[in-house]
Every structure is written in C-alpha cells, then in structure tokens.
C-alpha cells in the first residue's frame, strides 16, 4: 500500500467534520462514506511514490489556507478561472462537481454528482492550458468511483481520460 505524506503543516490544518457538513449542505449532496473516511485521514496529503498523478488532496479544515487548496473554496476558484471562457463556465455551471484533489497541472479531480446524487463518479476538470475549442471536463474511459480512483493512483497502467461532454 502506498504512503501518504502531509503536504501542509498538519498541526495547523487539522481535519474538520464541520467543513464536510457545510460542503454537503451547500452543494445539496451526500458524500459517500468511503470518501468521508478517506478525507478525514488524508486531507492535505499527497501519495508516494506515484504522486505524479496527483499533487495533493485538498484541505478540509475550518480556516482555508488558500482558495485553491481547500474543498470549501476550490469551486469558486475554478469558477473564476473558467469565467475567462463563457462556454467553459456554462458547462461547469451545468454540473454538480465537488473538487477534492489537485493534479500537477492545471486541474482538479472532482466527484461528479451530476448523474447520480448518491453514487458520484470521478472526473478531471482542467482550468488552464486548453485551446478555445477544448472542453474543460474530462471523464475516465469508463465510470470510475472514488475507491477505484484511489486504487488507480498506484497502478502502473494508465486509465484513459477523455473529454466528457
């Protein structure tokens, strides 16, 4: 099993169950229990050795470090970045995405509740370095749920990620 290393000073950024409850209420969703259990333990961490697929899990504490690093504010950060291209912002606003991890380029892995409020899949939302004709939301080549996503981080084989919509 992989190791997770904290990416931020852990003593300053302890996990907050209240922050997750606030997220659920604001987004009108119910986070899967396996996600809640994972986030409570690994928020703010990065996986080793295969951290090239994922930079870090977003923080989930009461006082955000920076907007783009925190589960409660990452969506607003993404909205501000995507507003530079109207069609991207419209696509983003027509989804029910919850960012939970930052990759090494300009993207976030998100839980996608758009099709199923109880059984979200994972997608990648890229907010920069795309051509005007590109779409910002990418899905894996087959629906992948949170536990499968965590397993994928440590696989040598890549699962294809393609434009979603």
3-state secondary structure 90-157: HHHHCCCEEEEEECCCCEEEEEECCCCCCCCEEEEEECCCCCCCCCCEEEECCCCCHHHHHHHHCCCC
Confidence tier at 50 by pLDDT (50, 70, 90): low
In a domain, residue 62? The reply is: yes
pLDDT in tens, 73-114: 788 888 887 777 777 777 887 888 898 888 877 788 899 998
Domain that holds residue 46: 13-163
In a domain, residue 8? The reply is: no
pLDDT in tens, 11-29: 667 777 888 888 888 888 9
Q: Into how many domains does the chain fold?
A: 1
Look at residue 19 in the predicted model and tell me its pLDDT: 82
In a domain, residue 6? The reply is: no
The mean pLDDT value of the chain amounts to 77
Q: How far is CA 10 from CA 14, 61, 74, 114, 151, in A?
A: 6, 10, 19, 33, 24
Which CATH number is 98's domain given? 3.40.1580
In a domain, residue 106? The reply is: yes
In a domain, residue 99? The reply is: yes
């Amino acid at each position: 099993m992989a190791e997770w290393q904290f990416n931020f000073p852990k003593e300053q950024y302890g996990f907050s169950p209240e922050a997750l409850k606030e997220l659920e209420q604001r987004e009108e969703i119910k986070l899967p229990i396996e996600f809640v259990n994972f986030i409570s333990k690994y928020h703010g961490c990065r996986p080793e050795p295969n951290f090239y697929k994922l930079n870090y899990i977003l923080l989930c504490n009461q006082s955000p470090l920076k907007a783009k690093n925190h589960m409660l504010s990452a969506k607003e950060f993404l909205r501000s970045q995507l507003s530079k291209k109207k069609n991207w912002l419209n696509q983003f606003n027509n989804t029910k995405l919850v960012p939970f991890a930052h990759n090494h380029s300009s993207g976030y892995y998100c839980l996608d509740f758009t099709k199923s409020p109880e059984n979200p899949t994972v997608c990648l939302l890229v907010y920069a370095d795309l051509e005007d004709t590109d779409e910002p939301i990418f899905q894996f080549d087959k629906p992948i749920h949170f536990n499968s996503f965590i397993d994928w981080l440590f696989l040598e084989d890549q699962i294809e990620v393609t434009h979603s919509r």
